[in-house]
Structure 1
Amino acid sequence: MGFFTKSRQAHARLNVPAFVQVAALAIIMIRCLDLVMLFNMLGLRGVGEFIHRSVQTWNLTLVFMGSLALVFVEIYCAFSLAKGRNWARWVFLLTQVIATGYLWAASIGYGYPELFSIAGESKRDIFRSLMLQKLPDLLVLFLLFVPASSRRFFRLQ
C-alpha cells in the first residue's frame, strides 16, 4: 500500500452523513453566535466588568471557568463528531444536561451570577424561556441521535 493511498477505514470516515455534518457545524455556529451576542449585549467594558466580577470569589470563578470549559468541550465535540467519534455525541448530550440544569437552577434562585439566569415571573415562564433558548441544541441532539443514518454512522465507527 502506497503512502498516498487511503485505507478502507480512512475512506469510510469521509462519508459523514449530512445530518451529522449539519449538527457539528450547528454546534460551532451556535457557540460562536452566542459569544458574539454576549459581546454585543455587554460591550467591551461590560465584558471586562463581568470578568472582574467573576474572579471576586472562588464560587464565581469556578462558575466562570466551568462555563468556558463547557464551551470548549462542546466545540471539541463538534470536531470529533465529524470524525465519527461516538463518545462525542454522548459528551455533547451531557454538556446540554449540565448547562440546562444549571440555567434552570440559577433562574429559580439556586445559582449565580445573574448573567447565567433566565428572567421570568413564574417557574413555568422560566421553563418555557429555557426550552426556547435550548431549542437549537435540542435540534442538534435530534440530528445526532434520531436519524437512522446518524445512528448507523456512529455504530460503524
Structure 2
Amino acid sequence: MLNKRTLSHARLNPPVLVMVAATAIIMTRGLDLFMVFDMMGVRGLRELIQRSAQTWPLTLVFLGSLFVLCIELRCAFVVMKGRNWGRWLFLITQILSSVYLMSASLGWGYPELFSLPGETPGDIFRALVTKKLPDVLVLFLLFIPPRSRLFFRVH
C-alpha cells in the first residue's frame, strides 16, 4: 500500500529511467538543432527561412516544426515533474512527426528538409525507424518499466 510518506518521496525523486528519458529528449533535440546549424551554416539557415516565408504552406510547416520542438522540450520538463499528460503528449508528437516524415518522404509533403532518403517505400521506412529509434527508446522508458508507471500514477 502507498502511504503519505511514500507519495511525497515519489514526488521529490523521479525514477532514474524517467530522468534518463527526459534528459534524452532534451539532448537529442539539442543535438539535432546543433547538427542542422552546423550542416546549413548561417547562410543556409537564412535561405531556409526566406524560402519558408515565400508560401503559406511552407511557412506553416516551418512554424509547425518549431512548435513541435517546443512541445517536445516542454514534455521533457513536465515528465520530470511526474505529469502523466507530458508522456502522452510526447507520444502524440512522435506519431504525428513520424506520419509527416513518412508522407513528406513519399512526395506527399514538403520541404526537402523534412524528408528521409530512400528510393522505395521500404528504404524510407527503414530510414524512419532508424531516425525514430531513440524516441522509441524514450517512450519505452516512460511507459514500460513498473517504476515509471507508478511514478506517473502517483501524480
AA at the equivalent of 2:143? F
Report the identity percentage: 60
* TM-score, structure 1 as length reference: 0.93
Where do 5+ consecutive residues of structure 2 fail to align? none
Equivalent position to 1:98, from 91, 96, 99: 96
Which residue does the alignment assign to 2:153? 155
TM-score where L is the length of structure 2 = 0.94
SS state at 1:115 partner: helix
Letter in 1 for 2:58: L
How far residue 15 of structure 1 moved from its aligned partner, in angstroms, is: 1.5
Number of residue pairs matched by the alignment: 151
State the alpha-carbon separation in 2 of the partners of residues 119 and 134 from structure 1. Answer: 14
Tell me the alpha carbon deviations over residues 93-143 of structure 1, each in whole angstroms, 9 at most, x when there is no partner: 000001100000000000000110011011000000110000000000000
Q: After TM superposition, which residue ranges in structure 1, 4 or more long, deviate above 6 angstroms?
A: none
The separation in 1 between residues aligned to 2:8 and 2:41, in whole angstroms, is 45
**1:6-58 CA-partner distances (Å, limit 9, x unpaired):** x9665431120011000000000000000000001111100110011011111
The answer for unaligned runs of 5 or more in structure 1 is 1-6
SS across alignment from 2:107 = coil
* Counterpart Cα distance in 2 of 1:17 and 1:119: 37
**Matched residue of 2:117: which SS?**
coil
